[in-house]
Homo-oligomer: A and B are copies of this chain.
């Protein structure tokens, strides 16, 4: 059952007894999402925090001139949301779309607040998630500031080899802060070198 997967994940950070595991499990709802389906859209408040059981997602913004810019990817055992929309409960600016047929476990904002209030352990868990997320983004910002396009791509390959096959190239390019044409050239340069 998919809830087992979430509980196992949470147990990596805080140890839950049977009652607590049950409490956690019932707070989340399983939903199936078809490829190309949106779970968050601009102007609608992001109501849920979502844990990916199976599948892949992408969060991105669209600028006035129509360009897409990817903020995040998520596959199995990652969380996705428009975080600004979710924690402040105001309208989203991001799109979040399924890149494959997917399964999510979702918790509602109010339900999450109850959970955290009811038990110190859940508060600790979400604190750790936020801290790890923040540390991750610090590493990302610093890496992006200090490396050129080619190095950023190679670093992504190295750290997330399993993402690369599941994510469209134009989306990866926009995540790494370069044009899709430029990433195409980088790739071909590389494969040509190899052979």
Contact = CB atoms under 8 A, between A and B. Distances in A.
Interface in A58-111: 61, 63, 67, 69, 71, 83-84, 87-88, 93
A126 B134 CA distance: 12
A146 B130 CA distance: 24
Dominant SS among interface residues on chain A: helix
Contact of A130 (B84, B130, B145): B130
Interface residues of A, number: 33
What is the oligomeric copy number? Answer: 2
A124 interface: yes
Interface of A: 61, 63, 67, 69, 71, 83-84, 87-88, 93, 116, 120, 123-124, 126-127, 130-135, 137-142, 144-146, 174, 177
